[in-house]
Structure 1
Amino acid sequence: MKRSTILLSALALAVGAGSAVAAQDDLDVRRLNASLDQLSSDPTIGSYAQAEQARAREAINQVAQFKPKEKEHAHYLYIAERRVDIAKAMAQFQDAQAKGTQLDREHDAILLEASRLDTEMARRQLEQQRQQNQMIQEEAARLQQQGVEYSQALEQAKAEGEKARQVAAAQARVANAAKKQAALAESAARAMRDLNSSDGGAPANTPASGSSKKSKKASSGGN
């Protein structure tokens, strides 16, 4: 009876020790699986480092094949923990790399847009400069044409002035000639009047003398 009790106690201790070992083994495996599951389910970095996550999962499965007191258990546990750490680090690195690539793309897009805006601004400035040059050329052509018209008007005014001067000179000559002719006519008329006045006195005396002679003859005959 006493011997049976001792055997039962030893068996209970062995079962308890085995349960404790199994619980310890499950705890390490569960901890690593939970850490790896948390990584794979992360919405930000869970899709990265798939190869590293697969290696970490294999290492955890190798840990589960050994008991905690076995020498291989500690070795594979260390490897599994490092594989999980590497998977996390690689996922974070790839996420940062993807974000950096996205930032580079956004930066390139910004530079491209800035270049496009610079090109558009340069095109607008060139178009504005072209329009200004065209306006300047048109204004220069207008001023040149206006200068030509002014020159022509000046030449025409000079010609008309010269013609008016010539007409005025001709009119002055005609007026002078008319004055001279009028003066000559007046002189001729005066001379004619003077001549007529001189000739008119002599004939008047001649008939009177004849009458006197006739009177004398009549007187003589009467006597």
Structure 2
Amino acid sequence: MIRPLLMIAFAALLAVAGTARAADDDADVARLNQRLQQLDDNLSLAGMASYERLQARQAIERVATARSRDRANALYVADRRVETAEIAARIEQGRREVDRLERERSEMLVEASRREAERARREAEHLRIQTQIHAEEAEHLRLAAEQEAAARQQAEGVLNDVAGAQAAKLRAARKRQAELARREAELMSAGGNVDKPESKSSKP
């Protein structure tokens, strides 16, 4: 009578232990699935470490179907797979962030180069305009100097012409004056010769 009771009690203990172990199995699987779900729900990690996540899910499924003697090893592998998926996702996130920062840096360098080129172009255009203005001013001064020299030369020519004409008139006037003086002298000389005989005839 005692032996059957012991067997019944032992069977009950095994059932309770099996139920407890099944509950533990469910808790471990739920915990690992929850970690994967948190990884999936993180939008900043979306699409990252897809292969590692697949391996973690497969490892969790093997925990649920593993025999009692293989469960501990399967649980360890599943836990490592989930951790690997988490780390891989973080690494890929960091790599993408580095790539994003590198792209931003490249874009900033390109923009800085573009602005520098634009500034250099504006300075070159400003220098070109200034050079053109100076060249036009120099050309204007050259033309003004040439016009002034031509006007001076023309004025000197006019003055020379006027001076030449005045000199010619002066020479002509002097020539006429000399001619008049010569004629006057001749007349006076001729008049003196006429008066001399008359003076002789008047003597007694």
Q: Structure 1 residue 141: deviation in Å?
A: 2.0
Query: Which residue is 1:18 aligned to?
Result: 18
Q: CA deviation at 1:7?
A: 4.6
RMSD of aligned Cα (Å): 3.0
Q: State the match for 2:122 in structure 1.
A: 124
For 1:32, the equivalent position in structure 2 comes to 32
Show structure 2 runs of 5+ residues with no match: none
Q: CA deviation at 1:85?
A: 0.9
SS in 2 for 1:44: helix
CA drift at 1:139? 2.2
For residue 42 of structure 2, what is the amino acid of its counterpart? D
Q: Distance in 2 between matches of 1:90 and 1:182?
A: 135
2:151 aligned with 1:149? no
Task: Quote the Cα distance in structure 1 between the aligned partners of 2:44 and 2:162.
Answer: 103
Structure 2 distance, partners of 1:159, 1:200, is: 61
> Which of 160, 171, 174 matches 1:173?
171
> Which residue of the partner structure matches residue 85 of structure 2?
87
**Distance across 2 between alignment mates of 1:6 and 1:75:** 33
Q: Deviations over 1:156-212 (max 9, x none)?
A: 12211211211221232234345445656766787899899999999xx9xxxxxxx
Q: TM-score, normalised by structure 1?
A: 0.75
Bigger Rg over Cα: 1
In 2: Cα distance, 1:55 partner to 1:29 partner = 14
TM-score (structure 2 length as normaliser): 0.81
Structure 1 unmatched runs, 5+: 206-223
- Secondary structure of the residue that 1:171 maps to in structure 2? helix
| Identical columns (%) | 32
- State the one-letter code of the partner of 1:112: V
Shift of 1:149: 1.2
Aligned with residue 114 of structure 1, among 112, 115, 136: 112
